[in-house]
Chains A and B, each alone.
Chain A
Amino acid sequence: MKHHLLFSTLLTAALGLQAQGTVKIALTGPFTGGSAPMGTSMRDGAKLAIAEINAAGGIQVGGKKMKIEAIERDDEAKNERGALIAQELASMGDLAGVIGTVNTGVCMSGDRYFQEKGITKIITPAAGSASMTQWSKAGVKDLSIFRFAADDAIQSSMVVEEAIRRGYTKVGLLFDSTNYGVSGRDDLMNQIKLQGGKLQVVAQEKFNIGDKDMTAQLLRCKLGGAQAILIWGIGPELAAVANGMAKIGMKAPLIGGWTLSMSNFIDNAGRNGNGTMMPETFIEDPITPKAKAFIDGYHRTFNVGRIPSPVSAAQGYDAVYIFAAAVKQAKSTDTHKIKAALEDLKEPVKGVIATWHHPFSKWNPADERTHEAFHRQQVVMGMVQDGRVVFANAAEKAQLVKAAGK
């Protein structure tokens, strides 16, 4: 018995020592299923950053260098699974923080376990407004959840902006019947009003997950004289819309949320997807040395010719660097101290999307932008062209090259 006790004490000590040697970061997201292109790209982008940091000896934490240890959890885009994983991670005790989550529903069901224990989490790439507004609505005073994604408010404003910029006056609105689609519709309607009501909405049409025949919805848009279709949905149904437009000979472009850059839209729509536009935080185009190094590194490490979701990969990558900077500044792996450091990052972080100056600030329940890293200027418009996403506007591309040259 005594021996047992001694043994277990030793074991605990040994485990404790081992845990002290690393910075534990959990990476969560759907690595299988319909949202998997986003989940795996985010994970792999994050792992690329972790590998780079570890190869350089790790993060300088106080007096010593510590390596990052990644803990991966597949939530399968299921809310209930996300909640279970959050509970498991929240009870780990020595976790430095969490990076990930693709689906807003999973944020809604799981993030409260992190918040209860004050565990620092950076949400990326889930974009639904609700995952942050839930905290401002609840009036939470101190929040350990941060977001590193262009939220739907930014995206919808850009979609409307693009339609106006291209001189359209009549648009059709298509959205899926999920929470994501309906709130996207509300955001778009709101933005049309905010941007001076220059767009006339000739049809507002809904479709369900799994619908393949969009003829009725599209005919309504066509009859109304829609010059573009603003759309909020997920890959396979978006592809059905693009294919349905080709069928009835409708030429109007699709403009919508960044889900239009998912491979399951691009592949299933094929040629019919050309000309589709969506806001993007990162485009797989080696326009700067940093972007080239990242893209080449991703292709080489994960043996692919095209990143399944470049946006998710780049955000996962930058999120890890920002997190690492917070660990360094906090001089600790304590998740509460890391949170405080994230709210006031002193040094700029060089990422692949941008150089991040003070991305987050002290949480203010009246303004969830305090915990949102992205602003309009970090987002560009992408366009589908022959199976890839390219820059929709040459000016935005030139601006990024110029900014990197500084």
Chain B
Amino acid sequence: MNALIIGQLAVSGALMGLVYALIAYGFQLTYATSKSINFGQGELVMVSAFFSLTLLDLGVPYALMVPGGLIFGALLGLLVERTGVRLALEEKSEGWVLLTIILGLFFFSAAENIWGRDDRPFPTPLSQNPVQVFGIDITRMEISVAVGVFAIMGLIELFKRRTLLGKAFEAVSADRDAAELMGISATRTVMLSYGLSGAVAALAGILVSPITTVGPTMASAMILKAFSVAVVAGLDSGFGVVLIGMILGALEGLASFYIGSGWREAPGLVLLILALAVRPTGVFGKAGIRKV
């Protein structure tokens, strides 16, 4: 019985943790090519979820809504890159930090004005009844989160390794200046990474909404955890964020059961402090050489 409880808590938590991992993966994509991240990533998750919900409300079938939402997310990512990041990067300034935060606030206000401040249910074609796996109850929505997260991360990693464009992506990540000398447009590659990052955020929104409902503040708690995951895992390893995301999620569940429901957030924070104190580059991060 006891093992069953631990299993239930760990699995439920780990599946939620995969969403943190997916958002953290969005940070990694842009960090790899441009050493910048979108601090308004949570708002991208939220706005894309609202957009997808609107598509469903308009009668768009579920199977078309998903690509629609992803394209919308990618476009938003491109918008962030063009308005918030590109100029700052050209100036070699850190202005993108503030600009992406401002864009996030803008998206938040826009969402409040367009869709209102209420939490709304997000329909799902999946049945509400849980399935039992070795005595552990898992909802179909949770399974869809796992499938979706692994599918999109797998696809993007394959793309990076197998296609020419993907190789350009890797080249810019490895050495931007050298890549440019080889005739690869760094600007285009950064655009690509922001577009992908936006699509990843949109997918996170679509996957998590049936569980969390859609509202302007839906991502504010998740984004902090995604940051923790990105920092603890490091900004280089896709495998790392998945692992750390699942561990963090499982720890949350276990802590709220064994220590008390008020202590839910504690393990994540302890993990974050430990990581920053012991391995500032992240558990799976590479220590970079910085030219001064």
**Residues of A at under 8 Å CB distance from B?**
32-34, 36, 177, 205-208, 210-213, 215-217, 219-220, 223, 235-236, 239-240, 243, 246-249, 264, 267-268, 270-272
Contacts and interface: CB of A to CB of B under 8 A. Distances in A.
B137 A248 contact: yes
B261 A207 contact: yes
B41 interface: no
Contacts of A208: 264
A239 B117 contact: no
Contacts of B252: 213
Interface centre among B8, B128, B261 (most CB of A within 10 A): B261
Nearest first, the 10 closest Cβ-Cβ pairs linking A and B are A216-B257, A216-B256, A212-B212, A215-B12, A236-B119, A33-B117, A206-B261, A205-B261, A268-B121, A210-B221
5 contacts: A205-B261, A207-B261, A216-B264, A247-B12, A248-B8
Nearest to B210: A243
Contacts of B217: 210
Contacts of A246: 128-130
B118 interface: yes
Interface of B: 5, 8-9, 12-13, 16, 116-121, 128-130, 137, 139, 211-213, 215, 217, 220-221, 252-254, 256-257, 260-262, 264
A177 B262 contact: yes
Contacts of A236: 119, 213, 215
A272 B12 contact: no
Contacts of A240: 212
B9 A264 contact: no
Given A33-B117, A212-B211, A217 B261 contact: yes
A264 B118 contact: yes
Given A205-B261, A249-B130, A213 B213 contact: no
Given A210-B221, A247-B139, A36 B117 contact: yes
A248 B257 CA distance: 15
B262 A206 contact: yes
A271 B128 contact: yes
A215 B8 contact: yes
B211 to A, nearest CB: 6
Contacts of B128: 243, 246, 270-272
Nearest to A207: B261
Contacts of B118: 33-34, 36, 264
Given A236-B213, A239-B213, A270 B121 contact: yes
A291 to B, nearest CB: 27
A223 B129 CA distance: 21
A307 to B, nearest CB: 16
B5 A223 contact: yes
A297 to B, nearest CB: 25
Nearest to A239: B213
Given A216-B257, A246-B129, 13 more contacts: A36-B118, A206-B261, A207-B261, A208-B264, A212-B211, A213-B13, A216-B253, A216-B264, A219-B5, A239-B213, A248-B137, A268-B121, A270-B128
B130 A267 contact: no
B121 A213 contact: no
Nearest to B12: A215
Contacts of B119: 34, 235-236, 264, 268
B213 A268 contact: yes
Nearest to A246: B128
B232 to A, nearest CB: 20
B261 A219 contact: no
Interface centre among B13, B118, B211, B212 (most CB of A within 10 A): B118
Contacts of A32: 116-117
Nearest to B221: A210
Contacts of B129: 246
A247 B213 contact: no
A31 to B, nearest CB: 11
B276 to A, nearest CB: 24
Contacts of B215: 236
A216 B221 CA distance: 18
A245 B12 CA distance: 13
A64 B287 CA distance: 85
Contacts of A264: 118-119
